[in-house]
Amino acid sequence: MAWSRRHLAVPLAAFALAATAGPASAHDGTAVVGPGDSIQPAVDAAAPGDTIVVVGRHRENVVIATDGIRLVGIGARLEPPATPQQNVCSDPGQPAAIGICVVGQFDPDTGEVTDFIDDVTVRGFRTRGFPDAGILSFGARNATFAHNVARDDDEYGITAFTSTGTRMLFNRVSGAEEAGFYIGDSPEADARLVGNVATDSRFGILFRNAEGGSVVRNLLTGNCVGVMALSGIEGLPGLAGNLSVRHNLIRANNRPCQASEEGPAVSGVGVALAGVHDSRVSGNLITDNLPSVPTDFSGGVAVVTDFVGTPPQDNVIERNVVLRNQPDLFWDGSGSGNAFRRNVCRTSDPAGLCDH
């Protein structure tokens, strides 16, 4: 579940690309890129605070590495190009892995971020069919991704790694083989996901090794897991916590996901807190999450030890409506300080959690 296939291996200087086509028009800090024009030269020419408006269909992979840029799509569709732009977010000779990549400066040998990119906005794009992610940020601070649609991207729809202050607002993702929305490897994540829709993915929303965030008023249905907060997996230990999951509609996440190198088989899980600490799941409607393959656990809300043995600590599950799941509440008994109270539910494992 980590970003393992593409690691930003090309030095940042590689995306000082020659402009091969210009924007259709530009004035007062705004450029307009129409069908047949290239987006990347307009991005490269932009200064902090500029807006780039993109219209129509484009077969292109784009990198943003300048603070404060606003990339705004109006009927904009982005698909993998036959000949990808070589840049910091692509591997030489390989297909374009990422549709729109927002990236700070980093040490290519260690992957350590040396300078964050600030205040970038990507809004109004439709991406489809990228081998890694439709939209991805790495080393970004206060990036906003709003009103985008990502479909059938091989790993992630919209994701942020080693970032802080990410906002994912009113986007739609479907068909991601890993996570529709992913916040990963971010010890100071402070991420906010509001009003998104995630369907037909392994995880609708995934927080892994991420501290701080809120998941509010999202629709998560038809995935293997609606919301997964996870501290670590084999080879990638970490910490996750201080999350708030509230007022979401989480139903029928029954897609069968078999075991893979990324983890065990999963299905029929509304919300899972795995090795997570100091998090709260409250005020959600969580129904009809039923496993369609054999799994280690399932349930409307599941509180469990993670895949490397970190137990859940001091989490609160309260005031949710959790019905027709298998079971409604599940706790593997590990950790301490985990509380289940005032939930509307009928079944639990162990018995008695619905009575608290």
If you write DSSP's letter for every residue of 242-280 in order, what string do you get?
A: EEEEES-EEE-----B--BTTBS-B-SEEEEEESEES-E
The answer, yes or no, to whether residue 13 has pLDDT greater than 50, is no
The answer, yes or no, to whether residue 100 has pLDDT greater than 70, is yes
- Stretch 109-131: mean pLDDT: 95
The answer, yes or no, to whether residue 322 has pLDDT greater than 90, is yes
Pairing mode, strands 25-27 and 30-33: antiparallel
Lowest mean pLDDT among 5-19, 185-199, 289-303: 5-19
Q: Pick from 78, 43, 41, 86: which is nearest to 59 by CA? A: 78
Query: In angstroms, rounded to a whole number, what is the distance separating the alpha carbons of residues 349 and 270?
Result: 15
Query: pLDDT-based confidence at 89, cuts 50/70/90?
Result: confident
Residues facing residue 159 across a β-bridge: 136, 182
Query: pLDDT-based confidence at 92, cuts 50/70/90?
Result: low
Lowest mean pLDDT among 141-150, 159-168, 254-263, 314-323: 254-263
- Stretch 220-238: mean pLDDT: 89
Q: Please give the backbone phi and psi of residue 323, each rounded to the nearest 5 degrees, phi first.
A: -135, 150
CB half-sphere exposure, 356, CA atoms < 13 A: 17
Q: Which segments of the chain does DSSP mark as H helices, in order?
A: 39-45
Domain boundaries of the chain, sorted by first residue: 178-355
- Stretch 25-31: mean pLDDT: 65
Q: What integer pLDDT is reported at residue 93 of this predicted model?
A: 60
- Stretch 112-137: mean pLDDT: 96
Q: What integer pLDDT is reported at residue 94 of this predicted model?
A: 66
Tokens of 16: 């000082």
> What are the pLDDT digits (tens) for 262-304?
678 899 999 999 999 999 999 999 999 999 999 989 999 999 9
Query: In angstroms, rounded to a whole number, what is the distance separating the alpha carbons of residues 62 and 71?
Result: 10
Where in 34-120 does DSSP place strands (E)?
A: 51-59, 62-64, 70-79, 98-103, 105-106, 113-115, 117-118
CB atoms within 10 A of CB 175: 16
Q: Pick from 353, 355, 302: which is nearest to 326 by CA? A: 302
**Which residues, 6 or more positions from 93, have their beta carbon under 8 angstroms from its beta carbon?**
none
The answer, yes or no, to whether residue 17 has pLDDT greater than 60, is no
Query: pLDDT-based confidence at 149, cuts 50/70/90?
Result: very high
Q: What integer pLDDT is reported at residue 307 of this predicted model?
A: 86
- Stretch 61-66: mean pLDDT: 96
Per-chain mean pLDDT for the chain: 90
Pairing mode, strands 70-79 and 121-128: parallel
- Stretch 30-48: mean pLDDT: 95
Per cent of the chain over pLDDT 70 is 90
